[in-house]
A and B are shown apart, each in its own frame.
Chain A
Amino acid sequence: MGLTAHSLVNKSLKLVSPPTTYARIDELIHDPKSSIDDISKVINADPALTTRLLKIVNSPFYGFPSQINTISRAIAVIGTHELTQLVLATSVVKAFNGIPHSLVKMRTFWLHSIACAICAKLLAEAAGYKHSEQYLIAGLLHNIGSLVLYQSVPELAAEAIKSARFGHEVLHLAEQRVIGFDHTEAGEALIQAWRLPESLAFVARHHHNPVAVGYAAEVCIVHVADVMISAVLFGHSGDQHVPPLDPLAWQRLNLPAEIIPPLLRKVAIQLEQLAASLL
C-alpha cells in the first residue's frame, strides 16, 4: 500500500507531543459546569507552560501596563478563548524534535509561521473580520504538515525541496510528485489527528489553493499572508521561494495595496516580541 498523509501522520504521532493541555482546556470551555479556576488548575499543572504563557501575556506584544502574575488573572484580562489559543501555540512550537537541520532549522521555520500568524491577524483586522485572534492560530499552523514530512520522510522531502529550488515547480507540487501528497494534506491529517478545530485543518489543507474552497475568507487571508511573509524573508518553512499569489484571494480581502508596507513593519515589531516569548 502506498504512503498516504494519514499513514505518515500515524507514524509521526509517535514522535511528536500532542497538545494535551489544549484538548483538556477545550473540553472545559465546552462544559457549562466548569469555571475559570478549573481552567487555571489545568494550566498550572504544567509549570513550563504556565511560565511561557505568563511571559507572553507580560510581553510588549500585549503591552499591559501592570504585571500579570497568575493564569486566572491572565484569563480575566485577555479572555479564555485567546489564552486557549496561546496554550495551543506554545504547545505546538515545542512539539517537534529531531528534524534534520539540513531541511530546515526549527527557529527559522517557526519564525515564518509566527510572522504569518501575526500577518494573518492584522490582515483580518484591516479587512474588518471579527475574532481576528482565530487567524493567528490558523497562520501559525498553516505549514505544520511540512514538519511531518521533514520528520518522517526526510529524504523525499529533501528531494522535493531540491526540485523546487533547482527545477521549475513550486514546492507543494514537487512534494505531490515525489511523495504522493504534499505538506497541506499532511497538515490537515495532523490537525485532525490532534482533534484540533476543523477550521484549522481546512486552512492548512487549502492555503495554496483557495479557489478549491470558493475563496473562503480564512483561507484567502492565510494565503495572502504566506505570500507577503515569504517575500520579506521572515524565516522560511523549507520553501525558499515566494509562493504564487491567487489574484482573486487578494481581491477577496478588498484591501488597498498601500496598507501593506506599514502592515509588514507592524508584523516585524510584533514578530520580535512574540518570537522572544514563544521560541
Chain B
Amino acid sequence: MDTKHYDVSAAKALAERKELFRYADLNHPLVALLFTDASLDHILPDESETAWD
C-alpha cells in the first residue's frame, strides 16, 4: 500500500478542510462536530461542484 500517497492526500484534504473553516470557531461543539465527523464526508452520492453543473 502506498502510505506516502495516502499521507499526502490526507494532509491536502485536512488543509482544505481547515481553509473552509478559517472563520469558524473549532472549539464550539457543533462546529467541531461538523469539522471532524467522518460520516458527513461525501454524504451526497456525487457532490462535487462540477458534477452539479
List chain A positions with a Cβ less than 8 A from chain B: 105, 107-108, 111, 170, 224, 227-228, 230-236, 240-245, 247, 250, 257, 260-261, 264-265, 268, 271-272
Contacts and interface: CB of A to CB of B under 8 A. Distances in A.
Chief secondary structure at chain A's binding surface = helix
Given A242-B20, A244-B23, A234 B34 contact: no
B7 interface: no
Contacts of A228: 34
Contacts of B53: 105, 107-108
Interface of B: 19-25, 28-31, 33-35, 37, 39-40, 43-45, 47, 49, 52-53
B32 to A, nearest CB: 9
B44 A271 contact: yes
Contacts of A236: 49
Given A242-B23, A257-B29, 9 more contacts: A231-B34, A231-B35, A233-B20, A235-B52, A241-B19, A241-B23, A245-B28, A261-B33, A268-B44
A265 B25 contact: no
- Most B-side CB within 10 Å, residue of A111, A224, A232, A272: A232
